[in-house]
Amino acid sequence: MSVTQVNIPGIVAEEEAAERPAVRRKIDRSERTRRIVRSAVSLVVGVLLWEAIARLVVHNDAFLAAPSAVAKRGWEMILNGELLSNTWVSMQELIYGFIIGAIAGIAIGAAMATWKSVSDYLEPWIAGLYAAPMIAFAPVVIIWFGVGIASKVAVVIMMVVFPMIINTQAGLESTDRRLLTVARAFCASGPRIFRTVSIPSAAPFIVAGMRLAVGRGLVGVVVGELFGSRAGLGNIITTASSVFDMPTLFVAVVTLAITGVVLTYLLRAVEMRLAAWREVA
Protein backbone atom coordinates (compact mmCIF):
# COMPACT_ATOMS: atom_id res chain seq x y z
CA MET A 1 0.00 0.00 0.00
CA SER A 2 2.14 2.81 -1.26
CA VAL A 3 -0.83 5.18 -1.14
CA THR A 4 0.69 6.42 2.09
CA GLN A 5 1.19 10.12 2.58
CA VAL A 6 -0.22 11.38 -0.65
CA ASN A 7 -2.55 14.22 0.08
CA ILE A 8 -1.89 16.21 3.22
CA PRO A 9 1.66 17.55 3.16
CA GLY A 10 3.75 17.58 6.28
CA ILE A 11 1.98 14.67 7.88
CA VAL A 12 4.64 12.19 8.68
CA ALA A 13 5.43 10.53 11.92
CA GLU A 14 8.37 12.86 12.59
CA GLU A 15 5.97 15.65 13.40
CA GLU A 16 5.69 14.09 16.83
CA ALA A 17 9.07 12.39 16.93
CA ALA A 18 9.94 10.68 20.18
CA GLU A 19 13.35 10.80 21.76
CA ARG A 20 15.56 8.05 20.46
CA PRO A 21 16.49 5.63 23.25
CA ALA A 22 20.01 5.04 21.87
CA VAL A 23 21.13 8.40 23.22
CA ARG A 24 19.80 7.61 26.65
CA ARG A 25 21.63 4.28 26.74
CA LYS A 26 24.96 6.00 26.10
CA ILE A 27 24.43 8.36 29.02
CA ASP A 28 23.47 5.37 31.12
CA ARG A 29 26.75 3.65 30.44
CA SER A 30 29.09 6.41 31.67
CA GLU A 31 26.81 6.93 34.68
CA ARG A 32 26.97 3.20 35.39
CA THR A 33 30.79 3.11 35.26
CA ARG A 34 30.91 5.95 37.76
CA ARG A 35 28.57 4.10 40.10
CA ILE A 36 30.57 0.86 39.87
CA VAL A 37 33.79 2.74 40.68
CA ARG A 38 32.17 4.33 43.75
CA SER A 39 30.95 0.93 45.00
CA ALA A 40 34.40 -0.61 44.52
CA VAL A 41 36.13 2.25 46.36
CA SER A 42 33.67 1.88 49.24
CA LEU A 43 34.33 -1.87 49.49
CA VAL A 44 38.13 -1.52 49.40
CA VAL A 45 38.12 1.24 52.03
CA GLY A 46 35.77 -0.82 54.24
CA VAL A 47 37.99 -3.92 54.09
CA LEU A 48 41.16 -1.88 54.79
CA LEU A 49 39.45 -0.24 57.77
CA TRP A 50 38.40 -3.64 59.09
CA GLU A 51 41.98 -4.96 58.70
CA ALA A 52 43.37 -1.88 60.49
CA ILE A 53 40.94 -2.19 63.39
CA ALA A 54 41.65 -5.92 63.79
CA ARG A 55 45.43 -5.48 63.70
CA LEU A 56 45.90 -2.20 65.52
CA VAL A 57 42.94 -1.95 67.91
CA VAL A 58 41.52 -5.37 68.78
CA HIS A 59 44.58 -7.68 68.65
CA ASN A 60 42.38 -10.68 69.43
CA ASP A 61 41.60 -13.34 66.81
CA ALA A 62 38.85 -14.85 68.95
CA PHE A 63 37.03 -11.52 69.04
CA LEU A 64 37.54 -10.06 65.55
CA ALA A 65 39.39 -11.79 62.73
CA ALA A 66 41.23 -9.58 60.26
CA PRO A 67 40.23 -9.89 56.59
CA SER A 68 43.67 -11.30 55.81
CA ALA A 69 43.16 -14.09 58.39
CA VAL A 70 39.67 -14.75 57.01
CA ALA A 71 41.03 -14.94 53.46
CA LYS A 72 43.80 -17.34 54.54
CA ARG A 73 41.30 -19.59 56.32
CA GLY A 74 38.94 -19.37 53.35
CA TRP A 75 41.66 -20.50 50.98
CA GLU A 76 42.43 -23.50 53.24
CA MET A 77 38.76 -24.41 53.35
CA ILE A 78 38.52 -24.20 49.56
CA LEU A 79 41.57 -26.45 49.20
CA ASN A 80 40.32 -29.13 51.59
CA GLY A 81 36.86 -29.02 49.97
CA GLU A 82 35.13 -28.08 53.24
CA LEU A 83 33.80 -24.74 51.98
CA LEU A 84 32.42 -25.99 48.67
CA SER A 85 30.75 -29.11 50.07
CA ASN A 86 29.03 -27.12 52.83
CA THR A 87 28.05 -24.29 50.48
CA TRP A 88 26.58 -26.88 48.13
CA VAL A 89 24.46 -28.36 50.92
CA SER A 90 23.10 -24.91 51.79
CA MET A 91 22.53 -24.07 48.12
CA GLN A 92 20.56 -27.27 47.56
CA GLU A 93 18.34 -26.44 50.51
CA LEU A 94 17.85 -22.93 49.15
CA ILE A 95 17.22 -23.99 45.55
CA TYR A 96 14.71 -26.75 46.33
CA GLY A 97 12.89 -24.61 48.86
CA PHE A 98 12.90 -21.59 46.59
CA ILE A 99 11.58 -23.45 43.55
CA ILE A 100 8.81 -25.20 45.47
CA GLY A 101 7.94 -22.06 47.42
CA ALA A 102 7.94 -19.82 44.36
CA ILE A 103 5.78 -22.17 42.28
CA ALA A 104 3.32 -22.66 45.14
CA GLY A 105 3.30 -18.93 45.87
CA ILE A 106 2.63 -17.98 42.25
CA ALA A 107 -0.14 -20.59 41.98
CA ILE A 108 -1.82 -19.53 45.24
CA GLY A 109 -1.45 -15.83 44.39
CA ALA A 110 -2.93 -16.40 40.93
CA ALA A 111 -5.85 -18.37 42.41
CA MET A 112 -6.48 -15.58 44.90
CA ALA A 113 -6.43 -12.93 42.19
CA THR A 114 -8.75 -14.99 39.96
CA TRP A 115 -11.35 -16.16 42.48
CA LYS A 116 -12.55 -13.79 45.16
CA SER A 117 -13.72 -16.69 47.34
CA VAL A 118 -10.22 -18.25 47.43
CA SER A 119 -8.86 -14.88 48.45
CA ASP A 120 -11.48 -14.54 51.20
CA TYR A 121 -10.61 -17.94 52.65
CA LEU A 122 -6.83 -17.48 52.56
CA GLU A 123 -6.47 -13.77 53.26
CA PRO A 124 -6.52 -13.94 57.11
CA TRP A 125 -3.96 -16.77 57.18
CA ILE A 126 -1.61 -15.07 54.79
CA ALA A 127 -1.88 -11.67 56.46
CA GLY A 128 -1.14 -13.29 59.82
CA LEU A 129 1.63 -15.62 58.74
CA TYR A 130 3.41 -13.05 56.56
CA ALA A 131 3.53 -10.58 59.43
CA ALA A 132 4.66 -13.25 61.91
CA PRO A 133 8.43 -13.91 62.10
CA MET A 134 8.43 -17.26 60.30
CA ILE A 135 11.91 -17.93 61.61
CA ALA A 136 10.36 -18.58 65.03
CA PHE A 137 8.79 -21.72 63.57
CA ALA A 138 12.18 -23.10 62.47
CA PRO A 139 12.82 -25.18 65.66
CA VAL A 140 9.37 -26.75 65.31
CA VAL A 141 10.06 -27.60 61.68
CA ILE A 142 13.39 -29.21 62.64
CA ILE A 143 11.56 -31.35 65.22
CA TRP A 144 9.02 -32.40 62.58
CA PHE A 145 11.35 -33.02 59.65
CA GLY A 146 14.63 -33.96 61.35
CA VAL A 147 18.15 -32.59 60.94
CA GLY A 148 18.45 -33.59 57.27
CA ILE A 149 17.88 -31.46 54.18
CA ALA A 150 14.05 -31.78 54.30
CA SER A 151 13.64 -29.59 57.38
CA LYS A 152 15.70 -26.76 55.85
CA VAL A 153 13.80 -26.99 52.56
CA ALA A 154 10.58 -26.69 54.57
CA VAL A 155 11.87 -23.60 56.40
CA VAL A 156 12.88 -22.00 53.08
CA ILE A 157 9.44 -22.74 51.60
CA MET A 158 7.82 -21.04 54.57
CA MET A 159 10.02 -17.99 54.07
CA VAL A 160 9.57 -17.82 50.29
CA VAL A 161 5.92 -18.61 49.78
CA PHE A 162 4.35 -15.54 51.41
CA PRO A 163 6.13 -12.75 49.55
CA MET A 164 5.48 -14.73 46.34
CA ILE A 165 1.75 -15.02 47.07
CA ILE A 166 1.41 -11.36 47.96
CA ASN A 167 3.38 -10.06 44.98
CA THR A 168 1.69 -12.36 42.47
CA GLN A 169 -1.74 -11.36 43.70
CA ALA A 170 -0.88 -7.65 43.73
CA GLY A 171 0.66 -7.88 40.25
CA LEU A 172 -2.35 -9.63 38.74
CA GLU A 173 -4.82 -7.33 40.45
CA SER A 174 -3.03 -4.22 39.25
CA THR A 175 -3.50 -5.26 35.60
CA ASP A 176 -4.85 -2.32 33.60
CA ARG A 177 -8.61 -2.91 33.10
CA ARG A 178 -8.46 -1.14 29.77
CA LEU A 179 -5.97 -3.68 28.44
CA LEU A 180 -8.24 -6.51 29.54
CA THR A 181 -11.07 -4.84 27.59
CA VAL A 182 -8.81 -4.47 24.54
CA ALA A 183 -7.97 -8.17 24.67
CA ARG A 184 -11.65 -9.06 24.95
CA ALA A 185 -12.56 -6.72 22.08
CA PHE A 186 -9.99 -8.47 19.91
CA CYS A 187 -11.65 -11.81 20.60
CA ALA A 188 -8.95 -13.25 22.88
CA SER A 189 -10.14 -16.25 24.95
CA GLY A 190 -9.93 -16.29 28.75
CA PRO A 191 -6.68 -18.28 28.97
CA ARG A 192 -5.23 -16.14 26.17
CA ILE A 193 -6.07 -12.93 28.02
CA PHE A 194 -4.40 -14.39 31.11
CA ARG A 195 -1.27 -15.31 29.14
CA THR A 196 -0.96 -12.18 27.00
CA VAL A 197 -2.19 -9.48 29.41
CA SER A 198 -2.31 -10.59 33.05
CA ILE A 199 1.00 -12.47 33.15
CA PRO A 200 3.12 -9.83 31.38
CA SER A 201 1.74 -7.05 33.54
CA ALA A 202 2.28 -9.08 36.71
CA ALA A 203 5.76 -10.31 35.69
CA PRO A 204 7.73 -7.38 37.16
CA PHE A 205 5.87 -7.81 40.47
CA ILE A 206 6.56 -11.55 40.49
CA VAL A 207 10.28 -11.10 39.86
CA ALA A 208 10.46 -8.38 42.52
CA GLY A 209 8.79 -10.90 44.85
CA MET A 210 11.47 -13.45 43.94
CA ARG A 211 14.20 -10.98 44.78
CA LEU A 212 12.64 -10.41 48.17
CA ALA A 213 12.08 -14.17 48.63
CA VAL A 214 15.66 -15.15 47.82
CA GLY A 215 16.98 -13.00 50.67
CA ARG A 216 14.40 -14.41 53.07
CA GLY A 217 15.13 -17.95 51.81
CA LEU A 218 18.83 -17.54 52.56
CA VAL A 219 18.00 -16.44 56.10
CA GLY A 220 15.76 -19.53 56.34
CA VAL A 221 18.64 -21.81 55.30
CA VAL A 222 21.08 -20.45 57.87
CA VAL A 223 18.65 -20.24 60.76
CA GLY A 224 17.36 -23.73 59.96
CA GLU A 225 20.92 -25.01 60.02
CA LEU A 226 21.67 -23.20 63.28
CA PHE A 227 18.83 -25.07 64.94
CA GLY A 228 19.83 -28.49 63.72
CA SER A 229 21.95 -29.76 60.85
CA ARG A 230 24.82 -32.01 59.87
CA ALA A 231 26.32 -29.75 57.20
CA GLY A 232 25.94 -26.39 55.50
CA LEU A 233 27.17 -22.84 56.04
CA GLY A 234 24.92 -22.41 59.09
CA ASN A 235 26.42 -25.57 60.52
CA ILE A 236 29.94 -24.13 60.04
CA ILE A 237 28.82 -21.00 61.89
CA THR A 238 27.49 -22.91 64.93
CA THR A 239 30.48 -25.21 65.11
CA ALA A 240 33.00 -22.38 64.71
CA SER A 241 31.31 -20.08 67.20
CA SER A 242 31.24 -22.80 69.87
CA VAL A 243 35.05 -22.93 69.75
CA PHE A 244 35.56 -19.18 69.11
CA ASP A 245 37.08 -19.93 65.67
CA MET A 246 36.46 -16.43 64.30
CA PRO A 247 38.21 -16.81 60.90
CA THR A 248 36.14 -19.90 60.03
CA LEU A 249 32.94 -18.22 61.20
CA PHE A 250 33.68 -15.18 59.03
CA VAL A 251 34.44 -17.36 56.01
CA ALA A 252 30.90 -18.77 56.27
CA VAL A 253 29.36 -15.35 56.81
CA VAL A 254 31.20 -13.79 53.87
CA THR A 255 30.25 -16.74 51.64
CA LEU A 256 26.61 -16.22 52.59
CA ALA A 257 26.85 -12.50 51.89
CA ILE A 258 28.40 -13.12 48.48
CA THR A 259 25.74 -15.72 47.65
CA GLY A 260 22.98 -13.32 48.63
CA VAL A 261 24.45 -10.51 46.55
CA VAL A 262 24.97 -12.72 43.49
CA LEU A 263 21.43 -14.17 43.61
CA THR A 264 19.83 -10.77 44.13
CA TYR A 265 21.88 -9.37 41.27
CA LEU A 266 20.83 -12.20 38.95
CA LEU A 267 17.16 -11.63 39.73
CA ARG A 268 17.63 -7.91 39.36
CA ALA A 269 19.01 -8.56 35.85
CA VAL A 270 15.98 -10.72 35.02
CA GLU A 271 13.73 -7.99 36.38
CA MET A 272 15.39 -5.33 34.21
CA ARG A 273 14.99 -7.50 31.14
CA LEU A 274 11.34 -8.22 31.84
CA ALA A 275 10.52 -4.61 32.54
CA ALA A 276 12.69 -3.04 29.85
CA TRP A 277 9.55 -1.33 28.52
CA ARG A 278 9.01 0.30 31.89
CA GLU A 279 12.25 2.20 31.85
CA VAL A 280 11.39 4.11 28.72
CA ALA A 281 7.80 4.65 29.72
Partner 1 sequence: MIDAPPQTKSKLEVKGVSVRYINKRTGAETIALDDASFSVGSGEFVCIVGPSGCGKTTLLNCLDGLRPVSGGRILVDGRPVSGPGPDRAMVFQSPSLMPWRTVLKNVTYGLESQGVAASEASERAQKMIDLVGLSGFESYHPGELSGGMQQRVNLARALVIEPEVILLDEPFAALDAQTRELMQAELLRVWRVTKKTAVFITHQISEAVFLADRVIVLSSRPGRVKAIVDIDIPRPRTLEIKHDPLTNQLERHVESLIDSTLTAEQIFAAAGD
Binding site for partner 1 (CB under 8 A): 1, 3-8, 11-13, 15-19, 21, 176, 178-179, 181-189, 192, 196-197, 200-201, 203, 276-278, 280-281
CB 223 within 8 A of CB 135: yes
Residue number, 6 or 57, with CB nearest to partner 1: 6
Residue number, 144 or 186, with CB nearest to partner 1: 186
φ/ψ of residue 96, rounded to 5: -60, -50
CB 156 within 8 A of CB 93: yes
User: Residue 25 CB, nearest distance to partner 1 (Å)?
Assistant: 12
User: Residue 201 CB, nearest distance to partner 1 (Å)?
Assistant: 8
Phi/psi class of residue 143: alpha, beta or left (left: φ > 0; alpha: ψ in -120 to 50)? alpha
Residue number, 26 or 59, with CB nearest to partner 1: 26
User: Residue 267 CB, nearest distance to partner 1 (Å)?
Assistant: 18
User: Residue 173 CB, nearest distance to partner 1 (Å)?
Assistant: 17
- Crossing angle for the helix pair 138-145 and 199-227, to the nearest 10 degrees: 80
**CA distances, 85 to each of 19, 78, 81, 88, 92 (Å):** 52, 9, 6, 5, 11
Residue number, 21 or 146, with CB nearest to partner 1: 21
d(CA 238, CA 253): 11
**CA distances, 264 to each of 83, 91, 102, 138, 239 (Å):** 21, 14, 15, 23, 28
Residue number, 66 or 202, with CB nearest to partner 1: 202
Residue number, 8 or 136, with CB nearest to partner 1: 8
User: Residue 30 CB, nearest distance to partner 1 (Å)?
Assistant: 21
Query: How many CB atoms lie under 10 A from the CB of residue 234?
Result: 25
User: Residue 67 CB, nearest distance to partner 1 (Å)?
Assistant: 44
CB 135 within 8 A of CB 220: yes
User: Residue 269 CB, nearest distance to partner 1 (Å)?
Assistant: 17
Residue 84's identity, in one-letter code, is: L
Residue number, 202 or 249, with CB nearest to partner 1: 202
